[in-house]
Amino acid sequence: MSSFLDALKAAPKSSQAKLNIFLSSFQPQGQAIAIFLEGRDDPSLIRVNVQQFAEQKALSVKTIMLGNKKEVLNAYDYLGKRFPNNPRIMFFVDKDHDDLLGETRGITTQQCLFVTQHYST
């Protein structure tokens, strides 16, 4: 059983805390692009490509890692309602094996949700 202290220590690392921090500073027409990723293995390739695009537009890139595909899709749903079709918010998930398992959520690229073509980047 985890203690209250353990819960407090873990709170800043939670996806909800990361979303709250993002919301406190996000400017929909600002000079930054926010990219939401699953995990720490994802930023290298994705960030390089987004960074090249951002530099052409004189924008910076902020990377938010949420830990897994479910959390990225939840953030996509939540922020998509709050900031519909905002080009300064992008979400990236791996295709995984969802198509083989019959999963339909998060298996195709749409609006600002980008899905890799293969299992992992």
Q: Please write the tens of the pLDDT for every residue from 77-110.
A: 999 999 998 999 999 988 766 666 666 565 566 7
Could you tell me the two tokens for 74? 């939840």
60 or 40, higher pLDDT: 60
Is residue 94 within 8 Å of 121, Cβ to Cβ?
A: yes
CA dist 6 and 99 (Å) reads: 37
| Res 104: pLDDT | 56
State the residue for tokens 């083989």: 100
120 has pLDDT over 60: no
Measured between its terminal Cα atoms, the distance across the chain in Å is 36
Q: How far apart are CA 112 and CA 121, in angstroms?
A: 17
pLDDT tens digit sequence for 5-49: 676 676 677 888 899 999 999 999 999 999 999 886 665 778 888
pLDDT score at 103 = 65
